[in-house]
Amino acid sequence: MVIRLKPTVFLPILALLAVFSASISVNAQEIGNYEPEPAWDGNPDLNGIWQAIGTAHWDLQDHEASAGLPEMGAIGAVPPGAGVVVGGEIPYQEAALQQKQANWAGRPTADPETKCYLPGVPRATYLPYPFQILQGTDKIMIVYGYAEANRTIHMDKENPERAPLDTWMGRSHGRWEGNTLVVDARDFNGEAWFDRAGNFASSALVVTERYTPISPDALLYEATIEDPTVFTRPWQIRMPLYRRLEPNARVIEFKCVEFSEEILYGHLMKNEEE
């Protein structure tokens, strides 16, 4: 059976689409011209609890839905999602691309997130959990719920000094460029992944982050990734971060070590039983 609608049925729909298109244009213009209220020090006030919404923590690039562990069914599957890599491509060197593919194949146990290790930068930003920015004049602290991760952004040192040790979260130095907080993060241990798809870097990684207010309750997050031992050129990710508006919004600690004991120490326990 074929149903034919009168032309007048489409008029309200077309009108709504026209209004929607116009609103998108206006909102885009407003975002580009947004001027945040200054804080006590004259810079934008980034204090608050923020969260990324999307599937970047699964895969930074465009990806289709795919199966996870068979015993977990749909709840263990990878949801489809649009990528956040500017230009769509992660420019791996050939050997590094092979390692990325090996990471993907072994991800159920090889992913550092599975073992409750610290997420590193920039991955901590777009894990599916809120994080809190605590803004001071000389230091800015970011507290993440996952694995009790945190980092201090040093705003009082113009020349970034080498950290005494390479760590999961690295060492961060920041400065203001207009309304944008720019953070230089480096001195990583090279063990963290960027996502559950196995994208990775080495200890030579340098991440340049940019946090720009685009509305009272949204930031534009940009991160430039540089690692000449893994990639053929620098590349960038970009996504919005949203303020959590619940009256009781807070960062709740996700102490996940106890859930990873079987993966980390199961083989030792089995040996003891034998």
pLDDT value at 271 more than 70: no
Summary mean pLDDT of the chain: 87
247-252 contact pairs (CB < 8 A, 24+): 249/49, 249/130, 250/49, 250/130, 250/132, 251/49, 251/129, 251/130, 251/131, 251/132, 251/143, 251/144, 251/145, 252/145
pLDDT value at 94 more than 90: yes
**Res. 40 pLDDT band, cuts 50 70 90:** confident
pLDDT value at 12 more than 50: no
Please compute the mean of the pLDDT values over residues 177-199 and round it to a whole number: 97
Please compute the mean of the pLDDT values over residues 50-71 and round it to a whole number: 94
**Dihedral angle computed from the Cα positions of residues 94, 99, 105 and 109, in that order, rounded to the nearest 10 degrees:** -170
Q: Which residue has the higher pLDDT, 105 or 24?
A: 105
Q: Of all residues in the chain, what percent carry a pLDDT higher than 90?
A: 72
Q: Highest-confidence range of 162-176, 232-246, 256-270, by mean pLDDT?
A: 232-246
**Dihedral angle computed from the Cα positions of residues 100, 87, 54 and 38, in that order, rounded to the nearest 10 degrees:** 120
pLDDT value at 141 more than 70: yes
What pLDDT is stored for residue 261 in this prediction?
A: 83
**Res. 269 pLDDT band, cuts 50 70 90:** low
* Positions of E strands within the chain: 48-52, 131-135, 139-144, 150-154, 171-177, 180-186, 206-215, 218-226, 235-243
Q: Of all residues in the chain, what percent carry a pLDDT higher than 70?
A: 84
The radius of gyration computed from the CA coordinates of the chain, to the nearest angstrom, equals 22
What pLDDT is stored for residue 72 in this prediction?
A: 85
Q: Which residue has the higher pLDDT, 27 or 210?
A: 210
Please compute the mean of the pLDDT values over residues 53-78 and round it to a whole number: 92
**Res. 1 pLDDT band, cuts 50 70 90:** very low
pLDDT tens, position by position, 205-249:
999 999 999 999 999 999 999 999 999 999 999 999 999 999 999
pLDDT tens, position by position, 145-160:
999 999 999 999 766 6
Q: Which of 136, 129, 114 lies closest to 40, judged by CA?
A: 136
pLDDT tens, position by position, 244-262:
999 999 999 999 988 988 8
* Positions of E strands within 178-250: 180-186, 206-215, 218-226, 235-243
Q: Residue 93 gets which letter from DSSP?
A: -
Cα–Cα distance for residue pair 230/37, rounded to 1 Å? 40
Q: Which of 209, 251, 217, 238 lies closest to 120, judged by CA?
A: 209
Cβ neighbours of residue 252 under 8 Å, at least 6 residues apart? Answer: 145
Residue 44 main-chain phi, psi, to 5 deg = -60, 145
Cα–Cα distance for residue pair 273/103, rounded to 1 Å? 31
**Res. 272 pLDDT band, cuts 50 70 90:** low
